[in-house]
Amino acid sequence: MNIQAMMKQAQKLQSDMMKVKDEIDNMEFSAVNGLVTVKMNGKKEILDVKIEKDEDFSLDDVEMLQDMIKIAVNDGMKQIDKVTEEKMGRFSSIPGLF
């Protein structure tokens, strides 16, 4: 295989990787924990946080709410990591790429 063919193949691979990365970046992920829903994009940016109203919830429950937010955000991050690994994993088996 000549250098030009290898370079062309590498450029196509890079283009394919960027397309997959853009696809993941534009996906939306929602994670729910109790009263809290967190929506994130594939760049791990929080797009929205919703807290459901509950008549039994008082300001004394702030610690619990903080924990719910933390758990929901972490779950959203795990979802993004899983999809990223599933979609980008095929590129990691190429020697010398990473």
Tens-binned pLDDT, residue by residue, of the chain (98 aa): 688 888 888 888 889 999 999 999 999 999 998 888 999 999 999 999 988 877 777 767 778 888 888 899 999 999 999 999 998 888 776 665 54
Name the residue with tokens 């300001």.
59
Please say whether the beta carbons of 26 and 61 come within 8 A: no
Q: Which residues contact 80 (CB under 8 A, 6 or more apart)?
A: 24, 27, 29, 40, 42, 44
Please say whether the beta carbons of 48 and 39 come within 8 A: yes
Tell me how far apart the terminal alpha carbons of the chain are, to the nearest angstrom.
21
Strand order in the sheet with 36-41: 28-33, 36-41, 46-51
Supply the pTM of this predicted model: 0.68
